[in-house]
């Protein structure tokens, strides 16, 4: 090409820059004409083919590389990009691109390598796997979010709710492990999501794992992933585990008390080393995650029975958030019920309803063994069957409605059982005393007028976390 015949845009590139662009060690290009004759070969190909450019130019491509398929591209006219090819003594990823003139006629083929290290491809593939796994996971979670308000926590007025919220917000400020304890249905998962969304990792992934729902023989591959062919039925390309999906974010291990002992040991190592190893893999993978665990079991009792590791418990229990049962916070039931009514009304596209005084007394008196989950079901049923704008006593299940005796004038006022009233008062007094002296339990015991041992016993009894 003469200087005068160059396109205008090409005239801005000097010959040295153009030569460097064409002849580079990263792509090692080679060009053949429409007859398969080599017209250009990068000098960096000498080690691959055993020919210098001067020796190769003018020869048919199969004379220089008998395994080449570049001449086949002349016939098919189709580009082949990303093909794995044995070039020299190493597997490489190459591209074969047909070259056409302005009329669309094939006048040659460009061959070049894309990656000269297959390990690079593997690393990229693993990243793609993780992104694909996260996409599938969040597609499923978005559906769940439509029916469960993970991002909404009812901040009640009781001391127990206030204490749980205070501890959760403190935990959100750091990256340390959190253990959420509480009965089934008390909102442990919602609390975990609240901590994640209040933390610096809020923009990262939030992955949940129900340890009780995964068979013992599958839990390792579920948490840590596996390589292709690691076991019968494994995907050919392998699969990232939940910890890889949670990279730069938060992972919740729900029902941690149901995790098998052998997995507890492996989890402890992951917490210490911050790296996982896929099942069937040979190389550890670094992961950056924040761990939250939750359980409705007494882990300290499990430690005594050798069904839960003590070292793992202390590793998890840096922050302990206790989600209170509904029967321990009757004063918060009106606010929680109102929240559920509004949420369910929007979901079912029906008018919101108020709760009559008698019905609310019944709701506050009932012990709620299923906690918020049970209250939600009761409220949803009442919304459907109540004809007017008010949920009345008769709209509640008999097990709840029967707790209130109506007088001819007005429903009797709700009075909490003495045991619950005492528990609430003692809990509030203990929390206020300990906070007033900056956490010094010996001074708090003196303020409360009890022995230090008694104070510790009550802290344990009421699950007070400070």
Domain with residue 431: its CATH number is 1.10.10
Check whether residue 162 and residue 288 sit in a common domain: yes
Cα separation, 466 vs 463, in Å, equals 10
Q: How many domains does the chain have?
A: 4
Check whether residue 345 and residue 238 sit in a common domain: no
The residue among 374, 401, 428 that closes a domain is 401
For residue 456, name the pLDDT band (cuts at 50, 70, 90).
confident
| Domain ranges, residue 85 | 8-116
CATH of the domain at 68: 3.30.450.20
Q: What is the pTM of this model?
A: 0.60
For residue 345, name the pLDDT band (cuts at 50, 70, 90).
confident
Check whether residue 263 and residue 191 sit in a common domain: yes
Greatest mean pLDDT among 34-43, 77-86, 416-425: 34-43
Which pLDDT belongs to residue 148? 42
Closest CA to 23 of 68, 63, 53, 59: 53
Q: Is the pLDDT of residue 277 over 70?
A: yes
For residue 312, name the pLDDT band (cuts at 50, 70, 90).
very high
- The two tokens of residue 234 are 């494994």
Beta bridge partners of 84: 93
Q: What is the pLDDT of residues 118-152, one digit of tens each?
A: 555 556 656 666 666 666 655 555 444 433 444 45
Check whether residue 221 and residue 335 sit in a common domain: no
291 belongs to a structural domain: yes
Check whether residue 193 and residue 299 sit in a common domain: yes
Check whether residue 42 and residue 92 sit in a common domain: yes
CATH of the domain at 187: 3.40.50.300
Apex 116 CA angle, 111 and 120, nearest 5: 130
Contact predicate 320/181, CB 8 Å: yes
Check whether residue 245 and residue 224 sit in a common domain: yes
Check whether residue 270 and residue 167 sit in a common domain: yes
Check whether residue 24 and residue 108 sit in a common domain: yes
The residue among 70, 86, 116 that closes a domain is 116
Q: Is the pLDDT of residue 419 over 70?
A: no
- DSSP-derived secondary structure letter, 329: -
Which pLDDT belongs to residue 233? 61
Closest CA to 251 of 308, 320, 201: 201
Check whether residue 312 and residue 337 sit in a common domain: no
What's the whole-number average pLDDT of the chain? 82
Which pLDDT belongs to residue 136? 61
Check whether residue 68 and residue 104 sit in a common domain: yes
Greatest mean pLDDT among 20-24, 202-206, 237-241: 202-206
């Amino acid at each position: 090409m003469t200087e005068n015949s160059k396109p205008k845009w090409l005239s801005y590139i000097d010959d040295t820059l153009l030569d460097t662009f064409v002849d580079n060690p990263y792509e090692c290009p080679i060009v053949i004409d429409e007859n398969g004759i080599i017209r250009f070969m990068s000098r960096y190909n000498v080690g691959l083919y055993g020919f210098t450019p001067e020796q190769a130019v003018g020869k048919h491509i199969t004379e220089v590389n008998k395994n080449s398929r570049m001449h086949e591209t002349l016939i098919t006219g189709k580009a082949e990009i990303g093909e794995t090819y044995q070039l020299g003594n190493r597997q490489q990823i190459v591209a074969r691109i047909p070259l056409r003139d302005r009329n669309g006629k094939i006048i040659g083929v460009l061959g070049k390598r894309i990656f000269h290290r297959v390990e690079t491809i593997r690393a990229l593939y693993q990243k793609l796997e993780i992104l694909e796994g996260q996409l599938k996971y969040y597609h499923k979670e978005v559906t769940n979010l439509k029916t469960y308000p993970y991002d909404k926590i009812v901040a009640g007025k009781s001391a127990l709710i206030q204490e749980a919220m205070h501890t959760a917000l403190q935990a959100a400020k750091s990256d340390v492990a959190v253990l959420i304890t509480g009965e089934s249905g008390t909102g442990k998962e919602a609390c975990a999501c609240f901590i994640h969304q209040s933390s610096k990792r809020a923009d990262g992934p939030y992955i949940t794992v129900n340890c009780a729902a995964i068979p013992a023989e599958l839990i390792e591959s579920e948490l840590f992933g596996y390589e292709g062919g690691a076991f019968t039925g494994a995907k050919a390309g392998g699969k990232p585990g939940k910890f890889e999906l949670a990279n730069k974010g938060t992972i919740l291990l729900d029902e941690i008390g149901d995790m098998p002992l052998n997995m507890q040991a492996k989890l402890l190592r992951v917490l210490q080393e911050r790296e996982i190893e896929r099942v069937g893999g040979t190389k550890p993978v670094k992961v950056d995650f924040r761990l939250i665990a939750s359980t409705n079991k007494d882990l300290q009792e499990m430690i005594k029975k050798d069904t839960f590791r003590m070292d793992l418990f202390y590793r998890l229990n840096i922050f302990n958030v206790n989600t209170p049962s509904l029967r321990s916070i009757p004063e918060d039931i009106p606010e929680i019920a109102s929240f559920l009514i509004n949420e369910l009304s929007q979901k079912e596209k029906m008018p919101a309803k108020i709760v009559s005084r008698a019905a609310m007394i019944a709701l506050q008196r009932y012990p709620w063994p299923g906690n918020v989950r049970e209250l939600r079901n009761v409220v949803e049923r009442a919304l459907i069957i109540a004809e007017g704008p008010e949920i009345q006593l008769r709209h509640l299940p008999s097990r709840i409605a029967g707790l209130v005796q109506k007088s001819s004038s007005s429903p009797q006022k709700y009075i909490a059982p003495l045991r619950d009233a005492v528990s609430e008062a003692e809990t509030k007094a203990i929390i206020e005393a300990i906070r007033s002296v900056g956490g010094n339990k010996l001074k708090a015991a003196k303020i409360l007028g009890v022995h230090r041992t008694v104070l510790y016993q009550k802290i344990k009894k009421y699950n007070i976390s400070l």
